Chains A and B, each alone.
Chain A
Amino acid sequence: MVVIRRGRAAGIGAPQASRKGRSTMPLLEIAQIVDARGLSCPLPIVRTAQAIKKVGPGALIEVLATDPGSVKDFAAWSRATGNAVLESSSEAGVYRFVLQRK
């Protein structure tokens, strides 16, 4: 389990102790947000692939999409590339994925 915190891109990828210092749970920040809302296939995947190249290994990327096909597409993309889908959720027609570069 990974706790994801939005914030500045400092210290991306390095597991950090939580503020209280008791938990050893790694705390990671989102390095980049890809806003693919409104875009049709295959642009959400393509924009994500472009963005993930620019972050380091282990860094997190958050993707927002409205394409209903993206749920299965991101799962397939993750299997093919080895980049993990840490979170997949939807709210009010917007799909949110948190991906981690391998």
Chain B
Amino acid sequence: MTLIAERPAGTAIDSAEQARPELKPEPEPAMESETPVKDLLIISYSGDLEKVWATLILASTSGAMGVKTRVFCTFWGLQNFVKDEKRITGENWMQKMMSVMQRPGISHRKLSRMNFLGMGPWMMGMLAKKYNVASPKELLEVAQEMGVEFIPCQMTMDMFGLKPDDMMEGMAEPVGAATVIGLMTENSVPLFI
């Protein structure tokens, strides 16, 4: 409003009083148009059990809340979403060696700290069962059922020698970083986990 700029000097209060009706705020527009629901974009970067667990809790909840949710799977985050039954992946010996050192698949995640040759994840699994916390595998199924989109990173697919057949069912087409930046800057809340 340009009212204050137009007011001549020395006519402060009276004219401002008269002008008050014009100063009334505009009727509020409908809430929906003011605060559109944003999408959620999780970048799943880590292959650690505790991090992918958090990713899947957030993704499945977000899907359940009707929020359009995408998980971009890159680097070690992509190995979370290789089929559980795949033991060795890759085309050359280095790629194969990588999959031997860290078995891919959602049920074969390790803790980043206190893994103790699998003791840590085993205890986490027992505690989760005891307290009725869904396992990453269950959460992954639920998230997919809730319409969460899992998008592989093309570059990581190439680097680890992963073929579409190695990946779990229902994954989206692989994309690159530009697509992710595009989503991030449009209407998505981004999380990097």
Determine if B132 and A45 form an interchain contact, defined as CB atoms under 8 angstroms apart: no
B146 part of interface (Cβ distance < 8 Å) = yes
Interface residue from B37, B65, B146 paired with A77 (Cβ < 8 Å): B65
Instruction: Enumerate chain B residues within 8 angstroms of A81, measured Cβ to Cβ.
Output: 65-66
How many residues of chain A have a CB within 8 Å of chain B?
A: 15
B-contacting residues, A64-85, CB 8 Å: 76-77, 80-81
Q: Is the CB of B64 within 8 A of A42?
A: yes
Q: Which residue of B65, B67, B134 has the most chain A CB atoms within 10 A of its CB atom?
A: B65
Which of A40, A42, A48, A81 lies at the interface centre, i.e. has the most chain B CB atoms within 10 A of its CB? Answer: A42
Min CB distance A11 to B, Å, is 27
B65 and A45 contacting across the interface, CB-CB below 8 Å:
yes
Is the Cβ of B66 less than 8 Å from the Cβ of A80? yes
Closest to A81 in B: B66
Residues in B whose Cβ lies below 8 Å from that of A80: 37, 65-67
- Is the beta-carbon distance between B146 and A49 smaller than 8 angstroms? yes
CA distance A41 to B61 in the complex (A): 9
Q: Are A42 and B67 in touch, CB under 8 angstroms?
A: no
Bound together, the chains give a CA A49 to CA B145 distance in angstroms of 10
Query: Which residues on the B side are within 8 Å of A43 (C-beta)?
Result: 132, 134
Residues of B within 8 A of A45 (CB): 61, 64-65
Question: Do the beta carbons of A46 and B132 come within 8 Å of each other?
Answer: no
Q: Tell me if B131 and A46 are in contact (CB < 8 A).
A: no
Nearest to B146 among chain A residues (CB) is A49
Complex CA gap A49/B60 in Å reads 10
Given A46-B134, A49-B66, 4 additional A-B pairs, CB 8 A: A40-B133, A40-B134, A46-B61, A50-B142
CB-defined A-B contacts under 8 Å, sample of 30: A38-B132, A39-B132, A40-B132, A40-B134, A41-B61, A42-B57, A42-B60, A42-B61, A42-B134, A43-B132, A45-B64, A45-B65, A46-B60, A46-B61, A46-B64, A46-B134, A46-B142, A46-B146, A48-B64, A49-B64, A49-B65, A49-B66, A49-B146, A50-B145, A50-B146, A76-B65, A77-B64, A80-B66, A80-B67, A81-B66
Binding site for A on B (CB under 8 A): 37, 57, 60-61, 63-67, 131-134, 142, 145-146
A interface list, Cβ under 8 A from B: 38-43, 45-46, 48-50, 76-77, 80-81
